[in-house]
Amino acid sequence: TQVIHSHRGTIDKYMGDAIMAFWGAPLADQDHARHALLAGMDMQARLKLLQEEFKARGWPPIKIGVGINTGEMTVGNMGSEFRMAYTVMGDAVNLGSRLEGLTMEYGVDIMVSEITKDKISDFLFRELDRVRVKGKDLPVAIYEPVCPAGEEDKATKDELQLYCETLKLYRAQNWDLAEMQFINLQKLNPERYLYSVYLKRVAYYRENPPGADWDGSFTFKTK
């Protein structure tokens, strides 16, 4: 909560195991996408300190996923005469929720939509995939923030370049070359779960070709 407030966010509600927040209201914020991203990164940093406290108490560790989307939303007091709440509603809100749920599928801490990514020019992002989430017909590109632009080291830059080239092979349905390169990437960085996700996809599509009209996206049937 403190992190969200310090980055100009508005707490919407606490929902069991989640916090919902939004930016740009009630006060206008032209840099809302960047502030949301910085809040997500700061939340992950704060979580590491919490982990130490949990460990000292003998508690199991916890992890969080952060999903961020940018778009037009309806904001204001909503409800009825019986119950009112200041909140946001709309398709863009729902996509943000879907992205949070997808962080586990790709083994990442923070996931942003292509719309959010395009609003933040001073960060380097890794494209994770093109997906169709439940309730949406059109695919959306999803990204993981890597670091502030210009702060990446040579190893990170080289890995990202190889990954981008491999992603093109995958979308061109060149399964053999894509598989070989994803294996190389996995050897390069065994801790990145993303590469094992794509290796499973390649194995599946080799046996079940997606067709010549495939747009390179993956469809998720559940939330």
Q: What is the pLDDT along the chain (223 residues), one digit of tens a residue?
A: 999 999 999 999 999 889 999 999 999 999 999 999 999 999 999 999 999 999 999 999 889 999 999 999 999 999 998 999 999 999 999 999 999 999 999 999 999 999 999 999 999 999 999 999 877 778 999 999 999 999 999 999 999 999 999 999 999 999 999 999 999 999 999 999 999 999 999 999 999 999 999 999 998 877 6
Residues whose CB is less than 8 angstroms from the CB of residue 167 and which lie 6 or more positions away in sequence, other chains included:
127
pTM of the prediction? 0.94
> Cβ–Cβ contacts within 10 Å for residue 135, how many?
10
